[in-house]
Structure 1
């Protein structure tokens, strides 16, 4: 029996005012196109797209039955939009407000993972201006410095000495008052897509020689970033990594869909970095890549995410 979602209206919410707005402006129109190609009625909502726009009023002025959240970072990924939609009694894609807020805060996430035994790199966290000497007394270079509540590797830098540390701290503070200083894991990076608690094939990431880190430029701008699919791990190691990713994802209460980022050190140990609850859906994005590898094209992927949300909220 066909889903009643075909007779309903899907609002694709994108844009926003976070540092990842430009990424969302790429994701949103592609999601709209994919859903329309599958025969769904779609309305596009560019949050804050109009000068002085009130997001509450924007959503109240649109008639829709399901929200497909294509926002990244900020209010789109920290639970606030999700909470607003719940108050409006509107189903939406992705995790609950609590899970989104939890996953968005890297410091809180790492504290929790440390407590339950999920391997994540050693770290220090600071509210406001960090003290470089305190960092150097507790940790050894190289270090990774991040804003606690940003995504798409925005504001992230590697530091090999005091001068680079000071620079990295100042850049991170441009995006957040809470700073995470993390032990550098020397080894390959992997990302794992999860949709409706099903784990998709692991993708290995390899930035070009011009990008020391898999940073924002490597993710969205560079044309020479390598995506390894198959990822290069043997079957047992890939199974271990998939299990770890699902455990980390579910431990935060995440549901619907998401992406987990992991590093592997020279001893072969996997270290979980973070969970993304509203992954990028651009032409360079990793979730569509993983889905395509198992025969799920872009349009079928966004349909699957939308249908899962529709059914999980108890709609027929």
Structure 2
């Protein structure tokens, strides 16, 4: 089986995507032939040789420009004159154009089976504002808050909320641009920062005391397979992007595993959220657990989580390589069910006949 690994993209989380792709390539050794596709500065490249972190870190990646095409109705990639048909593409992009539905749409245009949610589900879950609106429609609790656009007076609308407040750009991940405000002065600064990253913001009351909980899932036919549940380690009030990835404090899989009744509740809710948002591939869903009120709040949906959340599935006995093969097989199954059947239409013939009269 020949599998593309699509990673990179124009995103603040570009480097995290590179790490995920390297992990995926390593996990697939002996299971599949990998074809690395690197999205960089609006172009696509085939990465030559072994995927090594030091090559990307030192900017010494050997790559050739690539284009997508089709061959006998199947998606393929072309480097120079050589065309390569891919059985499926594993999407390893985080944030930006890779996770907001654009790359999913690209895969569909060229008929590649791909391991991610479709364009619409990806776009909705990438947007915290839309996620909050749809969650309310579906009956999933979220923290009390307001959403707003740059043209709206969100400071005025937030006056009914209780401090501290957390301010988030609507379409960024990994805590980028997120600030906690303890008074109106801090709120004004936090909103200004969020608007420097995005045209839409979400302002919510900070849930306290709180336990953060993460759970992942993937689709396998009609079944939704749910992972174990973790409670991420936290520093200060919330992790910033710098603390998460640049400070060396955050490591996937080093967090506390949650078991028992709470884990069961999170798992059941994760399946419901996964189905309600019509997700595909591996998605990680993050919650805020209000211990005093015993309420699980939906916080965020990551349609392409870092490391594809493989460490959460190890808790339920699914190794990384098996996880990848299972989501690939499901992507191929879904693609086979959505093939467009062409039919002959007489509309243009009739118009041509009318024009000749």
TM-score range, shorter chain: 0.7 to 0.9
Cα separation, 2, equivalents of 1:248 and 1:78: 18
Match of 1:256 in 2: 281
Does the 8 Å CA contact 1:12/1:70 hold for their aligned counterparts? yes
Match of 2:242 in 1: 217
Task: Please report how far the alpha carbon of residue 74 of structure 1 lies from its aligned counterpart in structure 2 after TM superposition.
Answer: 1.4
Does the 8 Å CA contact 2:68/2:110 hold for their aligned counterparts? no
Does the 8 Å CA contact 2:216/2:284 hold for their aligned counterparts? yes
Q: Which has the larger radius of gyration?
A: 2
Cα separation, 2, equivalents of 1:293 and 1:52: 37
Match of 2:217 in 1: 194
Match of 1:11 in 2: 4
Q: What is the correspondence of 1:141-160 to structure 2 with a 5 Å cutoff?
A: 141-160=163-182
Match of 2:296 in 1: 270
Distance change >3 Å, CA 289–CA 218, structure 1 → 2: farther
Deviations 1:67-88 (A, max 9, x none): 1100111111111111111111
Determine if the alignment matches structure 1 residue 73 to structure 2 residue 95. yes
Distance change >3 Å, CA 250–CA 81, structure 1 → 2: same
Match of 2:127 in 1: 105
Match of 1:46 in 2: 38
Compute the TM-score of the two structures, normalised by the length of structure 1: 0.86
Distance change >3 Å, CA 178–CA 243, structure 1 → 2: same
Match of 1:59 in 2: 68
Task: Please report how far the alpha carbon of residue 200 of structure 1 lies from its aligned counterpart in structure 2 after TM superposition.
Answer: 1.1
Q: Secondary structure at the match of 2:336?
A: coil
Task: Please report how far the alpha carbon of residue 136 of structure 1 lies from its aligned counterpart in structure 2 after TM superposition.
Answer: 4.3
Determine if the alignment matches structure 1 residue 180 to structure 2 residue 199. no
Cα separation, 2, equivalents of 1:67 and 1:104: 20
Distance change >3 Å, CA 164–CA 38, structure 1 → 2: farther
Q: Secondary structure at the match of 1:146?
A: strand
Q: Secondary structure at the match of 2:197?
A: coil
Deviations 1:34-84 (A, max 9, x none): 22x133111111102xx5626896334442231110011111111111111
Distance change >3 Å, CA 133–CA 104, structure 1 → 2: closer
Task: Please report how far the alpha carbon of residue 151 of structure 1 lies from its aligned counterpart in structure 2 after TM superposition.
Answer: 1.5
**Bigger CA drift: 166-175 or 51-60?**
51-60
Match of 1:239 in 2: 264
Compute the TM-score of the two structures, normalised by the length of structure 2: 0.76
Unaligned residue ranges in structure 1 (runs of 5+):
1-5
Q: Secondary structure at the match of 1:89?
A: coil
Q: Secondary structure at the match of 1:202?
A: strand
Cα separation, 2, equivalents of 1:151 and 1:136: 22
Does the 8 Å CA contact 1:69/1:94 hold for their aligned counterparts? yes
Match of 1:30 in 2: 23
Larger relative strand fraction: 2
Distance change >3 Å, CA 222–CA 268, structure 1 → 2: farther
| Larger RCO of the pair (alpha carbons < 8 Å, separation 6+) | 1
Q: Secondary structure at the match of 1:267?
A: coil
The CA RMSD over aligned residues, in Å, is: 2.3
Cα separation, 1, equivalents of 2:189 and 2:278: 35
Task: Please report how far the alpha carbon of residue 252 of structure 1 lies from its aligned counterpart in structure 2 after TM superposition.
Answer: 1.0
Deviations 1:126-159 (A, max 9, x none): 2116636404422121111111111122211111
Does the 8 Å CA contact 2:227/2:312 hold for their aligned counterparts? yes
Alignment: residue pair count: 297
Q: Secondary structure at the match of 2:116?
A: coil
Deviations 1:8-35 (A, max 9, x none): x211000101111111121112212222
